[in-house]
Structure 1
Amino acid sequence: MADTLIFSAFVIGIVSACSLPLGALTAQFWQPSDRTAGALVAFGGGALLAALTIDMVAPAFGRGHYYLVAAGCILGGLLFIALNEIVNNYGGFLRKVSTTVYHLRRQEHRRFKHILSHLGRIDIFKALATEEFKAMADLMISREYPRGMPFYQFNDPADALYIVEDGEIRLLDPQRGMQAFETLKRNDAFGRMAFLTGRSHATVAVAHTDATVWILPRRGFAQLVKNSPALLRAMHRWLLSEELFIYLQQRHGMTADDARAWVAQMVEHLDKEQALPPLSDIERNETQFIDCANDIHRLPVFNQLSVDAITVIASHLVYKQYPRGKSFYQKDEQADRMFIIDQGEVSLLDPDDINAKSKILSNHATFGGLSFLTGSHHTTSAVATQDTSVWVLLKYEFNELLLQVPELEKQVARILQQKEIETYLERKQHFDTGKAIRWINTAVKNIDSGRLIPAADEMASKIRESKGAPLAIWLGILLDGVPESLVIGASLLYHDISLALIAGLFLSNYPEALFSSIGMRQQGMTYLRIGVMWTSLMLFTGIGAALGNLFFIDAHPFAISIVEGLAAGAMLTMIAQTMLPEAYFKGGSVIGFATLLGFLAALFFKSIS
């Protein structure tokens, strides 16, 4: 009798999990839209919710074991959360889009919090309250800079504060023939004085090694200051500091009287306007840009926009002069700005391909635009072949404009869906087709919902860091399936397994395998490897069910109730933490109804069992 029950548990475990390799097989031939994907995941989640309620929690209630079930549920939920966190830290977050996005955001928040805790050089940040800290953390952007890349040049506008995460940065002094006067390392901040005063940079900052930095855009910080009495008081104290007085004299050539007058003017501005000192000495040449906006070519971001929209855009541009021979950017540098030529000539060339001809651009042509839009690295170098004047659109200004100008938002969404973007990602950034399409869909969805366009380089680099991801993904999915296998085996000892539970597990496993397999394929895994992973998970589910039956043969009903509660708690937590967020991320508003249909489907199987 015992052998028969163990074998039955194994078979039922296999049946409930056979949809795992079936989903992986389907992924080779069918890649549904995000909306369909979300609906299927939600349907499976709803079916599993019904199955858990009817066939795992209700029997224990029938035995009068509420407190045992509740204790098991809490323990199961906590256990899942702890193990899930461990698995995610080793790359298991890649098994779902939602867990990938959440993990990357959480990692960035943790890293920034660690950096901020070491910023003793910036006293005014000590005035931040918890909510203000969170708001500032959301403004921060992480960027990688190769060795030799400048962060800002002499007289550049002070549009951001920089914090070193990794690598070394050298500050050069234009007053001393560009001699290095300071080397900055991890957790050091630079550009601080210009950032707070609004004066143009009086030094030059260059990456001495490959470096990663956090960037705080000044525009976002200015809004925080305006809404924070604590920051306003801290800024007031700083404006009256000796440090600022010396800086204005040494770096901006002010006399003592001029420095005092400037400080008095800024203190008055702060008290009256409740705002940071405004940026000074920035040329924009707005009228000229408005006149030629419809003639801009190569990347028609600004074409056919209304005069009002163009006027707003012009107010966010910086107008700069580049002498002949001056480099705009080098190949492989991160694209954090786009250029529009007003007058002059620019040559685009690939320094690694001596046989490639350079491309010459002239008036009203954009360059650096595709890498700028996709948040990737430049695939060519750009050099002025004549004295050239350009408008520069910085990345953080572009993000502001997307929120302020609906016309521009729609225009960018249309451009991102053009074949040119997919081709660029495949040929120049070496994305496979599936990954390119996935990035485009995510970017368009982000624009539609008012979020930032994801940086292609950043997402790719985060994924490359997870070298143990295949094993971690496998462990993550195994973690999702362990509770169901144990409860199948244990439950057989006391009552027949309901068709609703088997159907719920089957229906939830299929979309899990289908869409995780698509994601694994986009990470570069072979179909054979993916198939073996899912098949092994099916076998482990059957073995787990058999072991659950074997271990609990002589167990007290109390123990069975605790196990059922443990499994239910773990599975409910998994549904809420991974399945439904994944569904909503992909499918949006259709998810609620799809979850209801899945719930009703499980009830239907219960009614006929």
Structure 2
Amino acid sequence: MEIAAFFQGILGASSLILGASVGVFWQPNKAFSAAIMAFGSGILLAVLAFEITARVYQESGFFPLLSGFFLGGLLFIGLTNYVDHHGGFLRQPAPSRRYLLEQIQEQSSDVLQSIAHIDVIQNLPDSEQKILASLLKPVHIAPQEIICQEGEIGDYFYLIVKGEAEVRKRERVVTILRAGETFGEMSLLTGEPRSASVTAISPMDLYQINQEGFEWLLNHSPHLARAISRTLARRLQVSTESQVESERNLSLWQQQLMNSMQLDLMLKQDSETLTGLVKRSAPSAILIGTLIDNIPEALVIGMNVGKNYIGWSFLLAVFISNFPEALSSAAGMKQTGTKNKEILSLWSGVVLLSGVCALGGYSLQDQVSGFLLVLVHSMAGGAILSMLASTMMPEAYELGGSTVAFSTISGFLSGFFITTVQMH
């Protein structure tokens, strides 16, 4: 029976290798990843409800179920937070994004203070200001330095924190730009060369955003799009003789502002940010974090080998749910620079260790009392539910939106059908 427990633990986790291989050598589209992840979540929810929750309640009542689920949830969240803080966050895209967001929030307060006086951001909601701050790069400009050259292709949008600059068009000074103003957006919007040159009059402190970040911001921040539209309108009214032409051009630019680009902020960060993420990620922490995600399932499999308690329906659910988890994780790790060999070695190690955990679960059968065994079952159930709530389901929704509801329903009904067939 010990050998059976070990191999059933490996069997349940073996889809991790399959999912990781797919994620490494083929980048699935978001809709596919979301659908399969939602389906796996649904089937695991069903089996969790009917295989663990219902049977523990029938055998021992509500109190052990309540205590075990909350203890399991607290233990799982506490351990995963600790591991993520020590470098394990890159094991999955969802904790990677959470970690990145925390870093952005820590670094953005000083930036927000320095740009608070800039006109186009003064009425932005706090959430949009924080996103903007995460994309800004500080630049210092010396007097007489040319920032933008007339006739060149534009690549940055600028916010003036301190200093003054003159705008020249065909060697004629058109206007003076001062602290709190912005420039450079027109060329980014139209794709045409710069219409004027901008030269620093005094030492200047600027923040710049590259074209990709600028387009992402306009797509996701309607308040910023409207503010820039108003700025363009004022400039057009001053610089063009025809009000009709101004309104026509403004309408075209406003349409360009709101065109959807469907960019992924996390995966489009600059190379410096991604390199920093990889350096902060320790392989051992990734391994431990991934194993924590799978220990509860392996323990349940091992604790019930040879018993007519939780059977092949749970094993099948674990197998199905592990595939999308590994697929998404491997794809995310590859995009952050982790080598294919390291990714596959990581998941192979998790599969073997899952077998060891199942073996450990089997050894508990004769070592602990019936009440404690039920409590361990409940704790495993709470940990599994916490994993679904904190990782798989948010990841599925983020990738696929509301359409994942139907995949989750399909998975849940499939799990219910499998469980019902086994019971009868």
* TM-score (norm. length: structure 1): 0.51
Matched, 1:33 2:29: yes
Distance 1:142 1:22, change over 3 A: closer
Matched, 1:150 2:141: yes
Aligned partners of 1:580 and 1:605: how far apart in 2? Answer: 21
Question: Which residue does the alignment assign to 1:556?
Answer: 369
SS of the equivalent of 2:60 reads: coil
Question: Which residue does the alignment assign to 2:405?
Answer: 592
Shift of 1:571: 1.1
Residue 583 of structure 1, aligned match among 396, 404, 407: 396
Residue 89 of structure 1, aligned match among 85, 91, 102: 85
SS of the equivalent of 2:104 reads: helix
Whichever structure has more helix as a proportion of its residues is: 2
Residue 539 of structure 1, aligned match among 343, 352, 360: 352
Question: Which residue does the alignment assign to 2:212?
Answer: 373
Residue 58 of structure 1, aligned match among 54, 59, 63: 54
SS of the equivalent of 1:27 reads: helix
Question: Which residue does the alignment assign to 1:465?
Answer: 276
Residue 336 of structure 1, aligned match among 173, 187, 208: 208
Shift of 1:52: 1.0
Question: Which residue does the alignment assign to 1:301?
Answer: 190
Shift of 1:9: 1.6
Aligned partners of 2:380 and 2:57: how far apart in 1? Answer: 15
Question: Which residue does the alignment assign to 2:101?
Answer: 105
Distance 1:531 1:484, change over 3 A: same
Structure with larger Rg: 1
Question: Which residue does the alignment assign to 1:200?
Answer: 178
Shift of 1:572: 0.6
Aligned partners of 2:326 and 2:370: how far apart in 1? Answer: 34
Aligned partners of 2:296 and 2:29: how far apart in 1? Answer: 30
Question: Which residue does the alignment assign to 1:340?
Answer: none
Q: Unaligned 5+ residue runs, structure 2?
A: 118-124, 148-157, 166-176, 230-252
Q: Percent identity?
A: 28
Whether contact under 8 Å (1:375, 1:455) holds in the other structure is no
Whether contact under 8 Å (2:44, 2:321) holds in the other structure is yes
Shift of 1:400: 2.3
SS of the equivalent of 1:336 reads: strand
Distance 1:457 1:526, change over 3 A: closer
Aligned partners of 2:411 and 2:358: how far apart in 1? Answer: 24
Aligned partners of 1:474 and 1:110: how far apart in 2? Answer: 27
Shift of 1:455: 8.1
Q: Which amino acid aligns with 1:543?
A: V
Distance 1:474 1:33, change over 3 A: same
Shift of 1:606: 1.6
Aligned partners of 2:399 and 2:183: how far apart in 1? Answer: 43
Matched, 1:408 2:246: no
Whether contact under 8 Å (2:364, 2:373) holds in the other structure is no
Aligned partners of 1:545 and 1:283: how far apart in 2? Answer: 62
Shifted more, 32-41 versus 487-496: the winner is 487-496
Q: RMSD between aligned alpha carbons? A: 4.4
The superposition leaves residues 496-541 of structure 1 with CA deviations (integer Å, 9 ceiling, x where unpaired) of 4322211110110011112211222222333222222111111111
Aligned partners of 1:409 and 1:20: how far apart in 2? Answer: 42
Which of the pair has the greater relative contact order for Cα pairs under 8 Å at 6+ separation? 2
Aligned partners of 2:29 and 2:183: how far apart in 1? Answer: 46
Aligned partners of 1:139 and 1:525: how far apart in 2? Answer: 28
Q: Which amino acid aligns with 2:18?
A: L
Aligned partners of 2:225 and 2:99: how far apart in 1? Answer: 25
Aligned partners of 1:81 and 1:61: how far apart in 2? Answer: 24
Aligned partners of 1:107 and 1:89: how far apart in 2? Answer: 11
Aligned partners of 1:506 and 1:283: how far apart in 2? Answer: 55
Shift of 1:35: 0.3
Q: Which amino acid aligns with 2:39?
A: F
Would you say how many aligned residue pairs link Structure 1 and Structure 2? Answer: 361
Distance 1:151 1:459, change over 3 A: farther
Q: Which amino acid aligns with 1:591?
A: V
Question: Which residue does the alignment assign to 1:445?
Answer: 262
Aligned partners of 1:87 and 1:31: how far apart in 2? Answer: 27
Aligned partners of 2:280 and 2:183: how far apart in 1? Answer: 50
